[in-house]
Amino acid sequence: MSQRTQAIGLDVGGTKIAAAVVSESGVVIDQERVATPHLDGSAPGVVIANVLADTVSALCTRNDLDVIETPVGIGLPGLVRRDGSLAFAPNLQTASGANFPALLLERCGSRHVHMENDGNAAAVAEHAWGAGQGRSDFAMITLGTGIGGGLIANNQLIRGRNGFGGEVGHMIVEARGIRCNCGKQGCWERYASGSGLGLLTTRAANEGRLPALVLACGDPERVRAEDVTTAAAEGSAEAKAILGELAWWIALGLSNLVELFDIGTFVISGGLASAAGELLPVATAEMVTMIMAAETYQSFEVVPSTLGAHTGALGAALIAMQRSA
Ligand SMILES: [Zn+2]
């Protein structure tokens, strides 16, 4: 078996690490899911590197792969330098500054370890095998606790000068707005993500705009974002109105990306994608009202990811295959 026809993708999130052995045609051959360790006190990334090395070794043993030669891709939620080091990870502070290629070489002998921002990895996967197939200009948008992103322009991933391109979640959409984990104020991910929905929900509940949900939960402060998405799916008009507000915030960021890059397709993944049926048509309609001379563009599409939970790991594996070739 040629080693370069398969790669291992590791998608490191704030709570879990998704790993997959991926074929060159994008098929997930084997997979693993482990909790992300958050222990502090050692050099940056060491505890996470231990878990990653164990996972890579286990997957190689199970699938008869050479651990030294098999390409490994790691997607990380932060600013990844072109040389592979993680410069800054607002939601994974114990790993900020880590050099995972060196750490994995030391622990399990992997010689072909490549790093990328998780949103960029997801964009590459959707472009090759998912909802971005055949689209030359599109954006991957991950709506989770925060917002991740990756931009494909003219069929190329935009990595930028340092490798930090595509951090769409930290575009400022509200001047002097809510404080973000990154240290700035008014970032898009404070408003248009899962935590943004939590904020809109608490505000609406306290203002008396969610009477049925407040009655069901017993107190305005106890109504959660999940209650709103569930109630909206069951047809609640008051819950749908809150999702409409969230869709407006989503549209605000998307319209800015259209103006900057003339993007035609947005592929949405992450926790909020489960409410896609309610959110995306409203977000698309709102977005069009925010674009200059929108009628002169070809139509826009805002569509859910077709690769689901594997998107990040698939992209990391594909990047590893391409950069090891
Ligand atoms: Zn921010």
> What is the DSSP secondary-structure string of 23-90?
ETTS-EEEEEEEEPP---SSSTTHHHHHHHHHHHHHHHHHTT--TTTS-EEEEESSEE-TTS-EEE-T
Residue 39 has pLDDT above 80, yes or no: no
What is the distance between the alpha carbons of residues 315 and 75, in angstroms, rounded to a whole number? Answer: 8
Q: What's the pLDDT at 94? A: 84
Residues with CB under 5 A from ligand 1 (ion): 170, 180, 182, 184, 187
| Residue 25 or residue 15, greater confidence | 25
Q: What's the pLDDT at 129? A: 97
User: Could you tell me the distance, in angstroms and rounded to a whole number, from the CA of residue 64 to the centre of ligand 1?
Assistant: 42
Instruction: Please check whether residues 162 and 266 belong to one and the same domain.
Output: yes
Instruction: Please check whether residues 80 and 144 belong to one and the same domain.
Output: no
User: Could you tell me the distance, in angstroms and rounded to a whole number, from the CA of residue 294 to the centre of ligand 1?
Assistant: 28
Residue 265 has pLDDT above 90, yes or no: yes
Instruction: Please check whether residues 260 and 146 belong to one and the same domain.
Output: yes
Q: What's the pLDDT at 3? A: 42
User: Could you tell me the distance, in angstroms and rounded to a whole number, from the CA of residue 219 to the centre of ligand 1?
Assistant: 30
Instruction: Please check whether residues 227 and 245 belong to one and the same domain.
Output: yes
Kindly indicate the confidence band of residue 145, based on its pLDDT and cuts at 50, 70 and 90: confident
Is residue 128, in this structure, part of any structural domain at all? no
Instruction: Give the number of other Cβ atoms within 10 Å of residue 17's Cβ.
Output: 22
What is the distance between the alpha carbons of residues 247 and 288, in angstroms, rounded to a whole number? Answer: 12
Instruction: Please check whether residues 177 and 64 belong to one and the same domain.
Output: no
User: Could you tell me the distance, in angstroms and rounded to a whole number, from the CA of residue 171 to the centre of ligand 1?
Assistant: 7
The average pLDDT across 44-48 equals 89
Kindly indicate the confidence band of residue 1, based on its pLDDT and cuts at 50, 70 and 90: very low
- pLDDT tens digits along 168-203: 999 999 999 999 988 999 999 999 999 999 999 999
Is residue 172, in this structure, part of any structural domain at all? yes
User: Could you tell me the distance, in angstroms and rounded to a whole number, from the CA of residue 3 to the centre of ligand 1?
Assistant: 40
Q: Tell me, what CATH number does 59's domain have?
A: 3.30.420.40
- Give the lowest-confidence range in 16-20, 80-84, 171-175, 281-285: 80-84
User: Could you tell me the distance, in angstroms and rounded to a whole number, from the CA of residue 306 to the centre of ligand 1?
Assistant: 27
Residue 267 has pLDDT above 70, yes or no: yes
Is residue 46, in this structure, part of any structural domain at all? yes
Share of residues in the chain with pLDDT > 70 (%): 98
In this structure, the dihedral spanned by the alpha carbons of residues 157, 84, 143 and 37, taken in order and rounded to 10 degrees, is 160
Instruction: Please check whether residues 150 and 261 belong to one and the same domain.
Output: yes
Domain count, the chain: 2
| Residue 178 or residue 39, greater confidence | 178
What is the distance between the alpha carbons of residues 311 and 11, in angstroms, rounded to a whole number? Answer: 9
Q: What's the pLDDT at 121? A: 97
- Give the lowest-confidence range in 142-146, 213-217, 273-277: 273-277
The average pLDDT across 76-83 equals 92
| Residue 83 or residue 315, greater confidence | 315
Place of tokens 């017993």: 218
Is residue 127, in this structure, part of any structural domain at all? no
At 61, list the tokens. Answer: 């043993």
Share of residues in the chain with pLDDT > 90 (%): 84
Mean pLDDT (the chain, rounded): 93
Instruction: Please check whether residues 147 and 238 belong to one and the same domain.
Output: yes
User: Could you tell me the distance, in angstroms and rounded to a whole number, from the CA of residue 256 to the centre of ligand 1?
Assistant: 16
- pLDDT tens digits along 219-232: 999 999 999 999 99
Q: What's the pLDDT at 10? A: 98
Instruction: Please check whether residues 152 and 29 belong to one and the same domain.
Output: no
User: Could you tell me the distance, in angstroms and rounded to a whole number, from the CA of residue 235 to the centre of ligand 1?
Assistant: 33
| Residue 57 or residue 270, greater confidence | 57
Q: What is the pTM of this model?
A: 0.91
Instruction: Please check whether residues 63 and 149 belong to one and the same domain.
Output: no
Instruction: Please check whether residues 100 and 166 belong to one and the same domain.
Output: no
Is residue 158, in this structure, part of any structural domain at all? yes
Instruction: Please check whether residues 227 and 287 belong to one and the same domain.
Output: yes
Residue 309 has pLDDT above 60, yes or no: yes
Q: What's the pLDDT at 29? A: 97
Is residue 129, in this structure, part of any structural domain at all? no
For residue 23, the enclosing domain spans 3-122+310-324
Instruction: Please check whether residues 218 and 317 belong to one and the same domain.
Output: no
User: Could you tell me the distance, in angstroms and rounded to a whole number, from the CA of residue 144 to the centre of ligand 1?
Assistant: 14
